[in-house]
Structure 1
Amino acid sequence: MTILSFHPCFGADKQIILGPRPLSLEDRLHIGQADAILLPQGCSAELYLACAHSRAAVFPEYGVRFKYPGKTGQAKLFQEFSIPHPETRCWRSTAELTVFLKKGNPLPHGFPFFLKIDGLHEGEGVFFIEEEANLRDVLGQLREREASGVCSFLTQSAVPTYGNILRAVIIGMNTYTFWKRPGQKGGMITNISKGGRIDQEWLPDLQERAAAAAREVSLKTGINLAAIDFAAAVEEPDPQLLVLEINYFFARRGLGGTTRYYRILYDAVRRWLAQQDEEPDRIVLY
């Protein structure tokens, strides 16, 4: 029984630090001989597919990550798996939205709403659209981005969260929740790296509901390593939790920092290996 690790922090029977290079023939031979494979969060589609098509058990499960890429892909994922989410419309380009509006169609969402650029994460590329002038300005910025190949985006109804986003992090069989809250009152877009703050105590009942909702997403999709962001109308007495996005790369501050995160992940990997009838003691955390 052979455990193969592509993860830079986990040693195993065989460890390969792939980095940015493509898979070699030797790499593929090792994949074909493995019984269990550990992947890095920076896993490429090439690496995941090679491992997924082998006979080995693979952790993490990244099938939906590559089948439904980006924000527009996730919008399709939420629809197909009946995952509650805000009303969302995907656009291939600014030209598609402009033509849609010139035909006399009303905006698919009333003001205010969010516009989110595909392929960006952790609050980047998110715009809060409050009026038509605001929309024209943001579309102008997007047209400049289109020159570099960034085209698709989505528009999404705004949930009155007042910038408070509830995050549930799935790590193996466990789920960890906390709030991302704006650093200043009135902020609608919260980014921890830009002044937002972590709050692990606020509205614990909603945190429990988010943990249960994240586990349901995990059961439906197979996801076992990701951060799921939820929106809720926090001033309502019994708000619905709506999934905003799934982050496969996520900040670790809300989990206690990088060192604690890797300890949690290491324990989750050991538990997963035991479930595969592998020996957990054959991996080490560097």
Structure 2
Amino acid sequence: CTKELFEVCANLKVPIFPEYRYRFEYPGKIGQVNLFKRFSLPHPCSIPLNRVEEVFEKREFFLKKLPFFLKENMKHEGYGVYFVRDLKDIENIKNKISDEVLVQEFIKCEGNVLRVVIIGDELISYWKRPLKKGQLITTISSNAKIDHNWNPYLQEKGKNLVKELISKTGINLAAVDIVFKKEEPLFLEINYYFGRKGIGGSERYYKLLLSAVKKWLLQKGLFTKSLKLIC
């Protein structure tokens, strides 16, 4: 769904699934930080910059923030994320970055990131865990293992935080990444396009999506009998 199509439907005052209002109102990583601030949702300390060069222009300030993550604003699913131990690390990558960036607090979580997938009223959680010790950036597409069973206590805490996000925003189709600081969950980002491997693959995803859409239509008092899955 494009922003233009969503706005056309929204202006018609018709029910819309999925709820993408805040996806378009708060785009990118910087937008999402502003979303978390608006709704008083916990997240790592984050500093938006228009240009990566601002790190060097405010050198003394950012030296005190080391180590930290540098994230390209419009990249998702682990792309455009750099771990910065020294400002010299940025020298090696600054020519690759033309977008706005986010300087984000480094949370010592040993690379373990909880993903909570929202599909309608269904919440599915699993960990993205590093394949090797010392790995700080974990992505399912390249260098993470999926673990549904590890630390169920923290999984439940993460789900409860996502329920708060849902209650405040109405988001009903997304994958939310969470890290833990001393067992307290913090939002990293919301992925509106996300991989399906962790929830059992595309076929299961579409079945869950169909079920969610049917339930949503019933809640709106709309007809669902002719709705079918074609894939």
TM-score, normalising length: structure 1: 0.77
2:189 matched residue in structure 1: 245
1:8 matched residue in structure 2: none
Aligned mates of 1:108, 1:242 — CA distance in 2: 24
Contact 1:109 1:156 in 2 (8 A): no
The CA deviation at 1:195 is 2.6
Equivalent residue in structure 1 for 2:86, among 123, 131, 154: 131
Equivalent residue in structure 2 for 1:100, among 58, 62, 65: 58
Find the residue that maps to 1:106 and give its secondary structure. Answer: helix
Runs of 4+ displaced beyond 4 Å: none
Contact 2:63 2:87 in 1 (8 A): no
2:94 matched residue in structure 1: 142
Residue deviations 1:8-44 (CA, integer Å, cap 9, x gap): xxxxxxxxxxxxxxxxxxxxxxxxxxxxxxxxxxx11
Find the residue that maps to 1:282 and give its secondary structure. Answer: coil
Find the residue that maps to 2:89 and give its secondary structure. Answer: helix
The CA deviation at 1:109 is 5.6
Percent identity, please.
41
The question of 1:160 aligning with 2:115 is answered no
Aligned mates of 1:55, 1:175 — CA distance in 2: 27
Aligned partner letter, 1:200: H
Structure 1: 5+ residue stretches without partners: 1-42
1:17 matched residue in structure 2: none
Residues 142, 134 of structure 1: CA spacing in aligned structure 2 closer, same or farther, 3 A cutoff?
Answer: closer
The question of 1:75 aligning with 2:33 is answered yes
Residues 167, 75 of structure 1: CA spacing in aligned structure 2 closer, same or farther, 3 A cutoff?
Answer: same
| Correspondence list, 1:191-202, <5 A | 191-202=139-150
2:206 matched residue in structure 1: 262
Contact 2:73 2:101 in 1 (8 A): yes
Equivalent residue in structure 2 for 1:114, among 63, 69, 72: 69
Aligned partner letter, 1:91: L
2:45 matched residue in structure 1: 87
Aligned mates of 1:99, 1:112 — CA distance in 2: 17
Find the residue that maps to 2:195 and give its secondary structure. Answer: coil
Structure 2: 5+ residue stretches without partners: none
Equivalent residue in structure 2 for 1:226, among 174, 184, 199: 174
Residues 269, 78 of structure 1: CA spacing in aligned structure 2 closer, same or farther, 3 A cutoff?
Answer: same
2:2 matched residue in structure 1: 44
Aligned partner letter, 1:183: L
Residue deviations 1:173-199 (CA, integer Å, cap 9, x gap): 111100001111210000111131100
1:16 matched residue in structure 2: none
Residue deviations 1:253-281 (CA, integer Å, cap 9, x gap): 11011100110111000000000101121
Aligned partner letter, 2:226: R
Aligned partner letter, 1:247: N
Residues 195, 172 of structure 1: CA spacing in aligned structure 2 closer, same or farther, 3 A cutoff?
Answer: same
Aligned mates of 2:82, 2:96 — CA distance in 1: 15
Equivalent residue in structure 2 for 1:62, among 14, 17, 20: 20
The CA deviation at 1:94 is 2.1
Find the residue that maps to 2:47 and give its secondary structure. Answer: strand
1:189 matched residue in structure 2: 137
Residues 176, 221 of structure 1: CA spacing in aligned structure 2 closer, same or farther, 3 A cutoff?
Answer: same
Aligned mates of 1:145, 1:100 — CA distance in 2: 18
Find the residue that maps to 1:277 and give its secondary structure. Answer: coil
CA root-mean-square deviation: 1.3
